[in-house]
């Protein structure tokens, strides 16, 4: 992504706040800041943190000092989310009554859609290290959000959960920004074929000169019988057709074929042989 796109993504993500309720370990706050900053989020709200401030926060949030300065400390969850339009409560297990529940990915998509298309403010609320959010706190949320995990092992800790949620928020934001602007000069792309390559890929037309060349070379060295080529030409087409050669590779391979042909018909001779003959002397 270009710097401009990155700034747009960060601008959108500034409307998605992370709320941590009654956090005990300063290290988890530091890790949250680092995860947020890496993914482009910037608003952290701490509801009655057990230990704050603390040097572990600054140590783990190295390089995210601008986010530390922006941290808001409030006394209640209600205060943390009062200006939000859409509140997600993170929940690992089902509660007393069923609640609208989304996995992290659709929750992030819904959040960014709300930010970009409806100018909304979003909160994702994370609970205590030992027992998460209370039923009362979860009831303040519009949706519950869950991260799909191995059901034989239990749940992510809060730092890991924040990491995954922030990652999904960034992916959703990039998706939306990618749709807003034409992403021509991209660093991060999703498909090999679309990536910035150092050489242009060859055309179908060039490949139609490539196949006769490799077949002729293989016929020259009697690896292919032109009278009975069997499946070999087809296999070569399938093999090289699935690479999409770039121009450099194309010329490299055709150069090798030509060298083999020249070796075969005697128009090119090894210099090495002379050296080898000299060596014993």
Cα(118)–Cα(51) distance, integer angstroms? 36
CA distance 217 to 254: 10
In the sheet that holds 16-21, the strands lie side by side as: 72-74, 43-47, 16-21, 122-126, 86-90, 143-146, 101-103
Nearest distance from C-beta of residue 166 to a second copy, angstroms: 10
Tell me the number of residues near a second copy by CB under 8 A: 75
Interaction of residue 15 with a second copy, rule CB under 8 A:
no
Local structure of residue 42 (DSSP, 8 states):
-
Stretch that binds a second copy, among 84-92, 112-120, 130-138, 149-157 (CB under 8 A): 149-157
Choose which of 19, 25, 29, 39 interacts with a second copy (CB under 8 A).
39
Give the Å distances, CA to CA, from 171 to 8, 185, 232, 275.
13, 18, 44, 59
Question: Counting contacts by CB under 8 A, is residue 242 touching a second copy?
Answer: yes
Q: How far is the CB of 76 from a second copy (least distance, A)?
A: 27
CA dist., res. 143 & res. 88, Å (int): 5
Contact status: 256 vs a second copy (CB under 8 A): yes
218 binding a second copy? (CB under 8 A): yes
Nearer to a second copy, 20 or 60 (CB): 60
Least Å from the CB of residue 106 to a second copy: 5
Distance in angstroms (rounded) separating the CA atoms of residues 6 and 174: 8
H or E segment to which residue 143 belongs = strand 143-146
Kindly tell me which residue out of 114, 146, 176, 210 binds a second copy, with binding defined by CB under 8 A.
146
Interactions with a second copy, residue window 179-198 (CB under 8 A):
187-192, 195-198
> According to the binding rule CB under 8 A, does residue 149 interact with a second copy?
yes
């Amino acid at each position: 992504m270009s710097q401009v796109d990155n700034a747009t993504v960060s601008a959108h993500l500034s409307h998605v706040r992370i709320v941590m309720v009654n956090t005990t370990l300063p290290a988890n706050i530091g890790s949250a800041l680092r995860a947020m900053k890496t993914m482009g989020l910037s608003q952290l709200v701490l509801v009655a943190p057990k230990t704050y401030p603390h040097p572990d926060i600054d140590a783990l949030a190295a390089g995210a000092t601008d986010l530390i300065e922006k941290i808001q400390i409030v006394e209640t969850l209600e205060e943390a989310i009062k200006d939000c339009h859409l509140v997600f409560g993170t929940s690992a297990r089902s509660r007393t009554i069923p609640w609208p529940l989304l996995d992290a990915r659709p929750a992030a998509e819904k959040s960014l859609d709300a930010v970009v298309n409806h100018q909304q403010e979003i909160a994702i609320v994370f609970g205590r290290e030992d027992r998460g959010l209370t039923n009362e706190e979860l009831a303040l949320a519009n949706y519950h959000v869950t991260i799909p995990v191995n059901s034989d092992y239990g749940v992510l800790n809060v730092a890991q959960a924040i990491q995954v949620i922030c990652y999904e928020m960034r992916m959703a934001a990039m998706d939306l920004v990618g749709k807003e602007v034409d992403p021509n000069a991209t660093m991060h792309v999703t498909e090999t074929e679309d990536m910035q390559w150092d050489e242009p890929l060859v055309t179908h037309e060039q490949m139609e000169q490539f196949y006769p060349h490799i077949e002729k070379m293989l016929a020259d060295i009697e690896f292919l019988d032109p009278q009975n080529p069997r499946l070999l030409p087809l296999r070569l087409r399938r093999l090289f057709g699935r690479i999409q050669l770039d121009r450099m590779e194309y010329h490299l391979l055709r150069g090798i074929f030509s060298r083999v042909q020249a070796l075969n018909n005697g128009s090119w001779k090894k210099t090495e042989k002379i050296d080898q003959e000299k060596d014993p002397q």
